[in-house]
Structure 1
């Protein structure tokens, strides 16, 4: 009988979770009536060429199987992939994922299916494939940062059933963004700032606006490299030892290893955002010769079409620094916390509360255990200062992640604040699930039974040994594609049970609500 490795188990979990999401949206879509909003008109994708009344067999199959995924903001992604940026409210969607769909559509034969339905099919298949890769990569990243096989494995399994899981299968950019982000962070942790980290972080920034916050990681790794080089040099001089390098040599090393790669990575994270703002300005504020399809022109009420009279130009075009970003979110996106004007909207705010509480509690626990390290912003290790290294308290009793996760916790704070201000509050969890691995690490630690022994990683290259797998996963599970410890572990405390309840309930209920177009998904 085959004994599966932990990495193989993660891949199977990712595959089966996508199958389950697909089945759940299918039954929800066909058994429950769709929600019909009364107070606003949601964006609707206008497929080009126009849909005909006579549909092929493949058209009918896609409608029958995948129609539950074509709701809410996914309409914008499909519209941009199909037609480009025709209406100004579609500027809320960054171009990375639509371009990926457009490229896949270009190389695929659509003679047997209408282009609109082929686009939906490709989106679902691409997201499924990318999700499996993302689960694999978050496992590799977790091994690098957490240095524990059990926690890394558990975090990857939790990613497969994350609270916003339906958005990773629907026509959204979440899966593509997560994959690029995790790859960028993986290469940043493994090799430092280099070409690979720059490329993947650039693609992430081109895919979602919150990718701009990856600058935090780049700045942190740059400052840490400078701090290490400087402290080592000063210590040698202070101890009367002759440094191997002079001050000019140190500056040269810092430039070569930190400043230059850092500048390249900063440009990689910022240029996509700046480029998209420039594109928006040229597309919507400058007279254009674009010829749009007649079916799109009929719906110009969604946008002031170029070419356009000067008096109809969007107000942001007249700003000293004409940026569409804040205008689009404030005009079309219910600008964050400011949207709450009625007590009836309070449940929408509560939807993101569990994830925010999890992060807040971890920050509190982390500061209790690593106060001095946190106050030094995680830049300076005791060993570098010549101070005896403090004994690291056990992770499970303290419920504090390793101190290597400091910058990820800091990034999550900024991510929560930024998305709470810019996006509707109920979307904060979605951005946390796709924009950071920290939620999965916190959940992995919280759901670890007190009697469980963690499995420190001694060799990062060795992730397939059966001996290690047996210490993490149950022997019978390693011979079974479906079963994992995730739902089998019982004694994980009140917090652990609440975390499991949050993940599983959101996974199930959220998918059903989304498939029927409810805003609480």
Structure 2
């Protein structure tokens, strides 16, 4: 059985190896593009988009293109540099690698409560250590810190309940999960879709609470009916005893007593039925009132969480609007300022990076599609396998539970992550630069590692397919730092 100490040790060891290997690759080889960041031993970790983050941390948003990158990560790096007086590149490497170690710990703990199997959780964690996007997890990129905020938010909101001994602790965890998901939306734009975890968990908790209330009322009704039956049986016993005592008495007296004794149970039974009907009406009205209040409370929490999680994105867009549209010294007003909903982020993604629906689906991008092919394969197979195993659960949005599998990738608790993966896959495949999909998914979705663990553990899967997948992990882990550190294009 694994322990947190072992998980922590392996996580730290993997980061030490990757940093040293990347630095060595940068020293031994000559950069393809020599215009990158230089001047320190860790400069091999400051490549491509890292240069944008470095510029934002040092000087803020000086150029329009810089608004393609969210401010959360550069702000954290800047704050750390101010307090520790360490260089910004060094602070970025410390934050990224610390975040990766913390993400590993959280992924392991999240796996235990979601998969309900510690061994599967541990094997999933091992796959995370050799993730194909490894180089981006240790460099001046958002992948590691985004993973940490997202995985932690998921861990805190998992199995949220309104009732029980730990309901106060659950509410505290709910508040913290909203905080972490809000932090994730300061790092990357897709942090806003983490609000789906909050919405799903609250509605699931509400559904479970309503079912528990109904079961509780049914048990109470059974107890009342059993009690009334016992009362009637006792009345019958008394009547039989009275019959035996009054055998020697006059027939007329016996007849009168029999009539009275027969009328009494009927009256008692009618009184009990009337009381039960009144009580049942009160319970129904009272329970309905509680359910309505709970629904209002859940809706209010959802609205508050949505406002908080989306607020960094809205504020970021608003600051850009003030800079370029309202208080601009530029002679010509930018095009996006004239839109009904001005959004500099969407405008820049389209103008400078050609991000849009099917914009990347051209013959020239076939090599990048091949580079992303393993991740596309994993997403498709994960969705197909899950839906085949329990299509009812999938089609009913997790309401219907077949109970086919209570542990592992097909656990009931992995359902929401499947929908999350499906959304990420759709956006990555049809809207983004396709080669980015590998690091986009592996830094956002824990279920991809749960699927791979299940796939590699499945005896029905051919060994050759398993070997190819493991080779993909190892190859990208080793070739990624080699190409990235020398400014060669890499995912």
User: Could you tell me whether the CA contact under 8 Å between 1:329 and 1:423 is conserved in 2?
Assistant: no
Aligned to 1:447: 456
- Tell me which of 245, 248, 252 is aligned to 2:289: 248
User: Could you tell me whether the CA contact under 8 Å between 2:383 and 2:422 is conserved in 1?
Assistant: no
User: Could you tell me whether the CA contact under 8 Å between 1:146 and 1:404 is conserved in 2?
Assistant: yes
1:102 Cα deviation (Å)?
0.8
- Tell me which of 83, 88, 96 is aligned to 1:107: 83
- Does 2:429 align with 1:420? yes
Q: Secondary structure of 1:332's match?
A: helix
1:149 Cα deviation (Å)?
0.4
CA distance in 1, matches of 2:296, 2:12: 44
CA distance in 2, matches of 1:502, 1:420: 19
Tell me how many residue pairs correspond in the alignment.
419
Q: Secondary structure of 1:172's match?
A: coil
The 1:435/1:103 distance shift into structure 2, 3 A limit, reads same
- Does 2:482 align with 1:517? no
User: Could you tell me whether the CA contact under 8 Å between 1:206 and 1:272 is conserved in 2?
Assistant: yes
CA distance in 2, matches of 1:394, 1:147: 5
Where in structure 2 are the equivalents of 1:297-308 lying within 5 Å? 306-308=328-330
Unaligned runs of 5+ in 1: 46-58, 111-117, 288-305, 383-389, 452-490
Aligned to 1:506: 476
User: Could you tell me whether the CA contact under 8 Å between 1:412 and 1:438 is conserved in 2?
Assistant: yes
- Does 2:202 align with 1:222? yes
1:336 Cα deviation (Å)?
5.1
Q: Secondary structure of 2:131's match?
A: coil
- Does 2:21 align with 1:15? no
Q: Secondary structure of 2:141's match?
A: coil
Aligned to 1:201: 181
1:394 Cα deviation (Å)?
7.9
Q: Deviations over 1:434-453 (max 9, x none)?
A: 111111111111222649xx
CA distance in 2, matches of 1:420, 1:333: 15
CA distance in 2, matches of 1:359, 1:341: 19
User: Could you tell me whether the CA contact under 8 Å between 1:446 and 1:495 is conserved in 2?
Assistant: no
Aligned to 1:333: 353
Question: TM-score, normalized by length of structure 1?
Answer: 0.75
**Range moving further from structure 2, 247-256 or 331-340:** 331-340
User: Could you tell me whether the CA contact under 8 Å between 2:206 and 2:294 is conserved in 1?
Assistant: no
Aligned to 2:419: 410
1:175 Cα deviation (Å)?
1.0
User: Could you tell me whether the CA contact under 8 Å between 1:135 and 1:159 is conserved in 2?
Assistant: yes
CA distance in 2, matches of 1:13, 1:78: 29
Q: Secondary structure of 1:351's match?
A: helix
1:104 Cα deviation (Å)?
0.7
Question: TM-score, normalized by length of structure 2?
Answer: 0.79
**Backbone CA RMSD of aligned residues:** 2.7
- Does 2:326 align with 1:286? yes
Where in structure 2 are the equivalents of 1:449-488 lying within 5 Å? 450=459
Aligned to 1:345: 365
Aligned to 2:255: none
Q: Secondary structure of 1:285's match?
A: helix
- Does 2:336 align with 1:316? yes
Higher helix share: 2
Q: Secondary structure of 2:443's match?
A: helix
Q: Deviations over 1:361-416 (max 9, x none)?
A: 1211111111111121102446xxxxxxx443886xxxx53232111011111112
Q: Deviations over 1:451-507 (max 9, x none)?
A: 9xxxxxxxxxxxxxxxxxxxxxxxxxxxxxxxxxxxxxxx98333222211111111
1:132 Cα deviation (Å)?
1.0
CA distance in 2, matches of 1:249, 1:333: 52
Q: Secondary structure of 1:347's match?
A: helix
- Tell me which of 72, 79, 83 is aligned to 1:96: 72
Aligned to 1:154: 123
CA distance in 2, matches of 1:122, 1:236: 55
Aligned to 1:365: 385
Aligned to 2:42: 66
